[in-house]
């Protein structure tokens, strides 16, 4: 079995990647490092849900370092208008920390639960993971978990998990609120 460090953005997005990676013969340990999540009580709520699920299922969890001031310096100034650049920098900050931990703790492979969400920038995220993993001597395990997103949604609801409705940063909270308003308007207009 290959020990794999699985960067996790939240508990609901961990469900299917852990199951699928185990089916492939990996032995996943979850790694939490998400200094992008705002505000602080939202961050703590997502982490607490992940802790609960890991404890209940016996999935090992490493809580890595989180440098929120680095996120504010290196990601936030990119702002709302350049989403690809902003998310690339955000993925890089989180996955660099996960790769650092993986290398220090002797893992052979690394992956991320971000690959289950159709709302993430899949190719950008994989590109970042691939580069960072290689730089740390790790095997990047690039998988498209997106077809299992509906199943992750179903299972997380069934388990009564907390499910957030935006990615994490304040920009994504505003973007998601705008999207919901647009969809409401379209429904009202019968489009």
Q: Which residues bind ligand SF4 (CB under 6 A)?
A: 36, 75, 86-87, 90, 167-169, 171-172
Nearer Cβ to ligand SF4, position 35 or 140? 35
Nearer Cβ to ligand SF4, position 86 or 136? 86
Say if residues 70 and 155 touch (Cβ distance below 8 Å): no
CB of 81 to ligand SF4, least distance (A): 12
Say if residues 76 and 69 touch (Cβ distance below 8 Å): no
CA–centroid distance for 36 within its chain? 10
Nearer Cβ to ligand SF4, position 31 or 167? 167
CB burial of 148-167 (b: ≥16 within 10 Å; e: otherwise) equals: bbeebbeebeeeebeebebb
CB of 190 to ligand SF4, least distance (A): 31
CB of 185 to ligand SF4, least distance (A): 23
């Amino acid at each position: 079995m290959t020990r794999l460090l699985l960067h996790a953005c939240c508990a609901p997005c961990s469900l299917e990647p852990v199951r699928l990676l185990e089916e492939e013969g990996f032995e996943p340990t979850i790694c939490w490092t998400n200094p992008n999540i705002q505000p602080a009580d939202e961050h703590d709520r997502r982490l607490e849900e992940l802790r609960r699920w890991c404890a209940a299922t016996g999935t090992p969890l490493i809580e890595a370092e989180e440098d929120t001031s680095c996120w504010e310096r290196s990601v936030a100034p990119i702002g709302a208008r350049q989403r690809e650049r902003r998310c690339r920098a955000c993925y890089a900050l989180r996955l660099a920390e996960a790769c650092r931990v993986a290398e220090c703790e002797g893992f052979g492979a690394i992956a991320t639960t971000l690959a289950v969400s159709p709302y993430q920038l899949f190719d950008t995220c994989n590109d970042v993971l691939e580069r960072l993993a290689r730089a740390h001597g790790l095997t990047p395990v690039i998988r498209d978990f997106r077809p299992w997103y509906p199943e992750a949604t179903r299972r997380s609801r069934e388990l009564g998990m907390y499910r957030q409705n935006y990615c994490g940063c304040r920009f994504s909270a505003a973007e998601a609120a705008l999207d919901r308003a647009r969809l409401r308007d379209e429904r009202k207009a019968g489009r």
